[in-house]
Structure 1
Amino acid sequence: MMTNLFSVFDPSTSISNLPMNWVSTMLGLLLIPMSIWLIPSRHFFLWNSILLSLHKEFKMLIGYKSILKGSSFIFISLFSMIMFNNFLGLFPYVFTSTSHLSMTLSLALPLWMSFMIFGYINNSKHMLAHLVPQGTPPLLMPFMVCIETVSNLIRPGTLAIRLAANMIAGHLLLTLLGDTGPLLTLSLVNLLIFTQIALLTLESAVAIIQSYVFAVLSTLYSSEVN
Structure 2
Amino acid sequence: MMASLFSSFDPSTTLGIPLNWTSLMLGLLIIPTSFWVIPSRMEILWNKIINMLHTEFKTLLGLSKMNGSTLVFISLFSLIMFNNFMGLFPYIFTSTSHLAMSLTLALPIWMSFMLYGWFVNTTHMLAHQVPQGTPAILMPFMVCIETVSNLIRPGTLAVRLSANMIAGHLLLTLLGNTGSSMASTMIWILIITQLLLLLLESAVSIIQAYVFAVLSTLYSSEVV
TM-score by length of 1: 0.96
Q: List structure 1 segments (4+ residues) > 3 angstroms apart after TM superposition.
A: 1-4
Deviates more, 1:147-156 or 1:26-35: 26-35
Residue matched to 2:197? 199
2:148 is matched with 150
**Separation of aligned partners in 1, 2:71 and 2:207:** 19
Look up the equivalent residue of 1:75 and give its one-letter code.
F
- How many angstroms apart in 1 are the aligned matches of 2:71 and 2:14? 35
Question: How much has 1:37 moved relative to structure 2?
Answer: 1.1
Q: Which residue of 2 aligns with 1:58?
A: 57
Residues 100-135 of structure 1: per-residue CA shift (max 9 Å, x gap): 000000000000000000111110100111110111
Letter in structure 2 aligned against 1:101: L
CA contact (8 A) 2:35 2:43 kept: yes
State which of 153, 165, 170 in structure 2 corresponds to 1:167.
165
Distance (Å, rounded) in 2 between the aligned partners of 1:126 and 1:26? 40
Shift, 1:19, TM fit: 2.0
SS of 1:206 mapped into structure 2: helix
Q: Structure 1: where are the runs of 5+ without partners?
A: none
Aligned to 1:9: 9
SS in 2 for 1:144: helix
Contact 1:99 1:167 in 2 (8 A): yes
- 8 Å contact from structure 1 (residues 83, 211) kept in 2: yes
The TM-score, its normalising length taken from structure 2, stands at 0.97
| Alignment partner of 1:185 out of 166, 183, 186 | 183
Q: Which runs of 5+ in 2 are unaligned?
A: none
Q: What residue is the counterpart of 2:40 in the other structure?
A: 41
Amino acid aligned to 1:10:
D
Q: Displacement, 1:14?
A: 5.1
Find the residue that maps to 2:208 and give its secondary structure.
helix
Following the alignment from structure 1 to structure 2, what is the Cα–Cα distance between the partners of residues 14 and 22?
Answer: 14
Residue identity matched to 2:50: L
Q: Which residue does 1:25 correspond to in 2? A: 24
* Aligned length, in residue pairs: 224
